[in-house]
Structure formats: C-alpha cells, structure tokens
Amino acid sequence: MDITKEFILQCEKAVEIQELYPRAPFLWDNPIYFEKGEYNSIYQYKHKFNVWLPSQSQLQEIISENFGGLTAMQLIDILNDWINSLTFNKYPDNLGYSMEQIWLGIAMETLYSKIWNGKVWEKK
C-alpha cells in the first residue's frame, strides 16, 4: 500500500475519486488506509480532514464499474495502453510511481480526462 506524501497529495487532489468513497459500496470490501502510523480506515491529513487512499484493487474496480465490468485481461490491456501512451511519458519521474499511483492516473485520465502535473490534476 502506497502511503507516500506524493500519493496522499494525488489522492487529496483527486476530488472526483474522493467523492466516490461514501457512495460506492463495492469499495468497502477489504479497505486499507493509513492513519498515524497504523493501517485502518482513512488517512488523517494534518488532523483537519480525511483523505481516502484507495488501493490498487479499489481503483481497478472503479474503472471496471465505469465500463460495466471488465475482466482482468481487459484491465491489463488498459494498463499496457496507458503505460505506452504519450500521457504517461509526460508524467514527471514516470518510472518512480507505485501501482496505486499508476492506477489512480489511469482512473483520472480515463474517467475525468485529467493528468497529474506534479501538483494538481489538470484537464488534458
């Protein structure tokens, strides 16, 4: 599970994904989050508000549900296409991303036409 500052910032700024947390019951299966050094329900960001850190499988489920259900092979094809895309090659330090960061990037680009610029998700 990615608990880096970069992923936390990406999740915080991915407002569209954050809004899915309370409304998507399929996301409640086996949730893993981070708070004060222990895994539990939600990351407490500066003790002011919560930031949901979706797992790789939860991000894949979000993408799959958006397309009416995808097989594992179809998800692998999406991953392969995205990694080989010009968008991924424009990402800063694209070789240092975790699988959660990659799947968040795929979700944000595929579902909301946004890419990470290192600080915020911006429209393509």
What confidence category does residue 13 fall into, taking pLDDT thresholds of 50, 70 and 90? Answer: very high
d(CA 95, CA 57): 20
**Nearest Cα to Cα of residue 105 among 23, 2, 26, 29:** 2
With a pLDDT cut of 70, the percent of the chain lying above it is: 68
Number of domains the chain contains: 1
Selected residue with higher pLDDT from 75 and 54: 75
Q: Residue 77 pLDDT > 60, yes or no?
A: yes
- Give the residue-averaged pLDDT of 40-57: 62
Residues with Cβ within 8 Å of 82's Cβ and at least 6 positions away in sequence, in order, are: 88, 102, 105, 106, 109, 110
Domain span including residue 24: 5-123
Instruction: Report the pLDDT averaged over residues 58-76.
Output: 92
Rounded CA gap, 82 and 84, in Å?
5
pLDDT score recorded for residue 44: 46
What is the pTM (predicted TM-score) of this model? 0.76
**78-113 pLDDT, tens digit each:** 998 887 876 666 665 555 688 999 999 999 999 999
pLDDT at 59 over 80: yes
pLDDT of residue 3: 80
Residue 123, Cα to own-chain centre: how many angstroms? 16
Concatenating the DSSP letter of every residue in 57-107 gives HHHHHHHHHHTT---HHHHHHHHHHHHTSHHHHHSTTGGG--HHHHHHHHH
